[in-house]
Amino acid sequence: MKIVFAQGNPGSEYVWTRHNVGFLAIDELTGHFSANFAPKPKFFADIAETTLAGEKIMLVKPTTFYNETGMSARALIDFYKLNPATDFLVLHDDLALPFGTIRTRVKGSDAGNNGIKSLNAHLGEQYARVRIGIYSPLRDQMNDVNFVLGRFSTEEREALPALFHTTSEFIEKFVSGRFEPTKLSLPL
């Protein structure tokens, strides 16, 4: 079994914010598989289950806030006795990458991302990540918190399906054992 774990904040007020791009990506994947999220309080998450490339996968949206997602990840890893290095993939926003850029990693530091800091504190640094760039020139006009909690522009929202399609391809590579570090800039 594999876990695809999205970073984001619960609540309708955060749905289209940049910080929730992980949630948006996993919602798209869940819709593709006609899977439904169900609340799982003991894991501090909403979880949908499906099969991809012959492997059972859990699609996870933590119900903790972004900066505390490590609690949910640890509960899942412990309960299912999984190895974060081989069974756990995180989808999250990356403020340092331009919008339209996706970078994958098999391990690493938090690079200032508080959600990843929480995951690293609970799991260590050995787990796969799909980092989805959210930077735009608007970032230079405001602080980090206001930018990441700000909503995507109309043009960005129109480009999200292409990003999510590529993200889904990386998820399939992870599940099938073909995941490797890469950086890809989409022509949006």
What is each CA distance from 16 to 28, 73, 88, 121, 177, in whole angstroms? 13, 23, 25, 27, 31
Catalytic residue among 19, 92, 122, 165: 19
Any catalytic annotation for residue 32?
Answer: no
Point out the residues that are catalytic. Answer: 19
